[in-house]
Structure 1
Amino acid sequence: MASITAAPPPEPKRGRLHWLAGFGVSGLLGLAVLLFWMLAAVFGPWLLSYSTASTGTSNVFMPIGAAHWLGTDYLGRDMLARVIEGARYTVGVALLATLVASGTGTVLALLAAASGRWIDATLSRCLDTLTAIPSKMFALIMVAGFGSSVPMLVLTAAIIYVPGAYRIARSLAVNINALDYVTVARTRGEGTLYIMLREILPNIVGPMLADLGLRFVYTVLLLASLSFLGLGIQPPAADWGSLVRENIGALAMGGASVIVPALAIASLTIAVNLVIDNLPGGAAREKGTR
């Protein structure tokens, strides 16, 4: 009589908690810091009970205390409120510029990989021209010629980082475009748009998300450096780079007004790198490449 074997129990569905557990301790720490600054940028200014644009009533460069948790700036304004207000510009402008740069670069890369050779060559040579221009020099020229408004800063940062995003996406897309299933899709008559969106794009989303995080870090540092030079966000608005510049006089006495915005920039960039390094599935991909 044939033995009856019990069917193996179904694997439990992996929910959001299992996905978060894949980040590890350092990844979760980076994710928490990143989420904190995102929430501060969106909801922080609305929760402030007073305006940071008006002249403060406290003494300038006050140390950390009960009245002012992060001290005061060069005009006596509360630094906690200023840093929260600055997060809206630092995080918001950098994120928007990064999305524009990575999105544009990825679309152009998909078009170059899925189209003919002459389109690929034309796009690559045009973007190589932008790569040859130093990023800081290009940003200074754009700001000097067209002003330092928020739309111009977004456009400038996006143009600077489109070539890098294009190169990464194109290198991935060209390899996938040469695989058999893409050839089969072309044989059955699928068009270029279908090849781009259904065959190539889903297979490069993971690496491009990691690259987007790195582009975000580069953009934050670029905009902070422009603001430190006085060419970024203009008063009365402020981002973290301009807060460092405004309160540079407190550096000699170790004032919190110049240290806190610098630490905010560092915490944001480190948090993004921790999240990128600990994306779920990264360990499995590393084992697969060995």
Structure 2
Amino acid sequence: MQDALSWGQIILGIAARLVPVWIGLIAVFALSFTFKRRLGLYGRIFDSPVGMIGFAMVMFWVFVACFADIIITHDPLVQLSGMKNIVPGSPVKGMEGAYYLLGGDHLARDVFSRVIMGAREVLKIAPAATVVAFMVGITLGLPAGYIGGKLDTAISFGSNLVLAFPVILLFYLLVTPEIRDTGIPIVLAAILFIFPVIFLTILFNSRFFTNPKQRNIYVGVVLVIGLWAYSGLAFNADPLGVWSMDPNVLNVFVSVVFVNSPGVFRIVRGMVMDIKTRDYVAAGQTRGEGPWYIMLWEILPNARGPLIVDFCLRIGYTTILLGTLGFFGLGVSPESPDWGSTINYGRRLLAIAPHPAVVPALALMSLVLGLNLLADGLREESMKD
């Protein structure tokens, strides 16, 4: 019979499984340090110790998600006989040389493998949903702040309605089966997912308006690919089956976008109202540049620093919200290895077996901490512009 591993052996075993992650981190840092003076704000992260530490923590989990299939030691959904609530480092019965490095949960599943796969579940939704939320917020916030008037009043009123509602309760309502059956998430997806297409279309149209041939190419590509993706993601109607989203994932994704968009809108609107009074904006108006060109190519680039910082922070908030949903059993699926669900399953046995809850909780904390440190580093460097 195999002996259980000591904590030293467990740590070495985990470090060995993470070799692809270490290689990825070394490669990224080596290239970034070599070319940091050519990489703008990203390169200046490496002049900030806080930003660099945060970047390393975030990239660690990014690489874990990318290489999860070769890092895990067991299928995160498979239950093995005799491994229920087993302590870290325990050998797997009937499998020579196999161990549960971080123990087993209440269903005899490998905690280490579930935490690793949980990183993929989190990073599959949080960044993409935040990007869509930013496109919604920017598309509405730019004209609201620049044009003002009744348009600003109407959009701000709708934004305030969403912001006034308790976030957790709003999430709970949007992802419950009863709301799902009404078709509201599909309606929200149809509305929210069209904004990236609108944003990119206006972006290229305003930039290349004086060059119709080049404009038609860019706008045409955006419309073809964008509407193709839109049909698949929003309505699951892609005839080629390239773009699709599981109904549970769609509900969570739409909820994240819907809740985050008003906050982005308020930030963009406020910054536009300040920047539009600058001299270079007045110069653009004097040259006869169109409103959307001024908003997207004069004002928005000068607001990029605070928006990048908020983007990092918002991914952290979204990660916490996803963990909260999973904790309440409202995540992407009941058997999903996402960190919130894993913490929920493990909390019931904290007194006798703390590792199933503590390990994913530490993983969630480290990712959010990394995002916050990265945002602090970006804020520090962006203020030097």
TM class by shorter chain equals: 0.7 to 0.9
Alignment match, 1:238? 337
TM-score, structure 1 length as denominator? 0.87
- 1:56 aligns with one of 62, 80, 87: 80
Alignment match, 1:285: 383
Deviations 1:188-213 (A, max 9, x none): 21111101111111001110011111
Residue 92 of structure 1 corresponds to 124
1:135 equivalent in alignment to 2:167 = yes
Give yes or no for the alignment of 1:171 onto 2:171. no
Give the structure 1 partner of residue 248 of structure 2.
149
Aligned equivalents of 1:185, 1:20: Cα separation in 2 = 32
Partner of 2:48: 23
SS of 1:204's equivalent?
helix
* RMSD between aligned residues: 2.3
Show the counterpart of 1:193: 292
Aligned residues: 274
Q: CA deviation at 1:18?
A: 6.0
Any conservation in 1 of the 2:36–2:46 contact (CA below 8 Å)? no
State the SS of the aligned residue for 2:84: coil
Unaligned runs of 5+ in 2: 1-34, 91-98, 182-246
Rounded to whole Å, the distance in 2 between the matches of 1:268 and 1:19 is: 21
Identity %: 34
Q: Which amino acid aligns with 1:108?
A: L
Q: Equivalents in 2 of 1:13, 1:139: separation in Å? A: 40
Give 2:136's aligned residue: 104
Alignment partner, residue 9 of structure 1? none
Task: Measure the CA separation in 2 of the matches of 1:99 and 1:171.
Answer: 19
Shift of 1:238: 2.5
Of 263-272 and 105-114, more deviation after overlay is shown by: 105-114
SS in 2 for 1:247: helix
Match of 2:306 among 199, 207, 220: 207
Which structure has more relative contact order (CA 8 Å, sep 6+)? It is 1
- Matches of 2:36 and 2:340, distance apart in 1: 45
Equivalent pair of 1:71/1:79 in contact (CA under 8 Å): yes
Runs of 4+ in 1 over 6 A off after TM superposition: none
The amino acid across from 1:269 in the alignment is V
SS in 2 for 1:171: helix
Give distance in 2, aligned partners of 1:211 and 1:33. 18
| The 10-residue stretch of structure 1 (72-81 or 106-115) with the greater mean CA deviation from structure 2 | 106-115
Q: Separation in 1 of the partners of 2:300 and 2:354? A: 49
| Matched residue, 1:119 | 151
**CA positional deviation for 1:77:** 1.6
Residues 60 and 100 from structure 1, CA distance in 2 versus in 1: closer, same or farther, beyond 3 angstroms? Answer: same
Match of 2:201?
A: none
Kept in 1: contact 2:44–2:381 (CA 8 A): no
Quote the Cα distance in structure 1 between the aligned partners of 2:148 and 2:355.
57
Tell me whether 171-180 or 232-241 shows the greater mean CA deviation: 232-241
What is the TM-score with the length of structure 2 in the denominator?
Answer: 0.66
SS for the counterpart of 2:383 is helix
Query: Given that residues 63 and 71 in structure 1 are in contact (C-alpha distance below 8 angstroms), is that contact kept between their aligned partners in structure 2?
Result: yes
